[in-house]
Chains A and B, each alone.
Chain A
Amino acid sequence: MHELSVTESVLDIACKHAKKAQASKVTDIHLVIGRLSSIVDDSVEFYWNVISKGTLCEDAKLHFKRIPAELVCLECGEKYTLDQELTPCPSCGSARIRVLSGDEFNLESIEITKESND
């Protein structure tokens, strides 16, 4: 997929917030990825190790939290989660469904260390 541009965005956002917080180092980065966001963790990690060198985020560990996609049936209102393949409503069989969540692709938080005298 487009992991390089995605990884660059992660680095930009993390560095921006780390600078604002006057961090001396970013140690951990927490990402939330919905089931419908096709991001390959290994590929992001690969690029991360290359592009984070020499930045505040060098050696920071990436944590991926995968969250399921939630669907709702427009006929009977049944809510269910997407497992592997797209399936019609398990309750009434209707194909009229709407995706409620699963698109998420967020940087949730970072962990930093600060040189501080307080």
Chain B
Amino acid sequence: MTEHRIKIVEKILNANDRLANANRQRLDQSSTYSINLMASPGAGKTSFILATIHALLDENIQIGVIEGDTAPVTIDSDKINAAGMPAVQVNTGGECHLDAVMVENALDQLALDDLDLLVVENVGNLICPAAFKLGTHSNILIASVPEGDDKPYKYPNIYRGLDVLIINKVDLLPYIDFDMNYFRQGVEILNPGLTTFAVSCKTGEGIEGWLDWLKAKLT
């Protein structure tokens, strides 16, 4: 019997990262721009996707959606289908995030060549989705103002990997205590110069700026 120490130094999520890279290649091949949309539960992920779909109806842009949920429900994908776009519902079986394997399986169910844009709606959670790459082109977080202005300080990881931040429900600002300067300072520490759009999916305020950003990515 002999004892040995073997040096490894391997990233624990290496397998997921490799699959994420493969997903990205598929999306690149079909020229589908893809977004990993993250937020806490109730921040307005599905409303934001629907607002985007409706605003782009006349633009001849085909949008597909992957809906991640921890329970076997089709509430969100039904809403997307009702808006006339294809959606795949992924039940994570209790897992608190989507990972690259789940997205790979969902990609098989979509006609990628027909899609200009793919939105992956992650499970509502500010912690776990930050650790698992999916292979999408950009990471976007929706922070809604009723959640409070301290979220960047409490959930730093998710803010660090972002390409775009959407501040949603700004129509509620007059009614709640939300210090925008404090919030933005927290974001600035984690992700200097982050592209940010303050919107209300309910009133449509601020959506134009987001659409301009998105359309620039799709051309």
Which of A's residues lie within 8 Å of B, judged by CB? Answer: 1-2, 4-6, 9-10, 12-13, 17-18, 21, 23-24, 27, 31, 36-38, 74, 85-86, 88, 95-99, 105-116
Contact = CB atoms under 8 A, between A and B. Distances in A.
Given A1-B96, A1-B128, A97-B189, A112 B8 contact: no
A21 B192 CA distance: 45
Contacts, number: 106
A105 B8 contact: no
A2 B15 contact: no
Contact of B1 (A1, A4, A114): A114
A2 B10 contact: no
Nearest to A114: B2
Contact of B4 (A9, A74, A108, A112): A112
Interface in B70-119: 95-97, 99
A13 B14 contact: yes
17 contacts: A1-B128, A2-B132, A4-B95, A5-B99, A9-B12, A9-B15, A10-B12, A36-B156, A37-B157, A38-B131, A96-B189, A106-B9, A107-B10, A110-B5, A110-B8, A112-B6, A113-B1
Contacts of A4: 95
B40 to A, nearest CB: 15
Given A109-B8, A113-B1, A114-B2, 12 more contacts: A2-B128, A6-B12, A9-B15, A13-B8, A13-B12, A36-B156, A85-B153, A106-B10, A107-B8, A107-B9, A109-B5, A109-B7
Nearest to B131: A2
Interface in B6-54: 6-16
B1 A115 contact: yes
A9 B6 contact: no
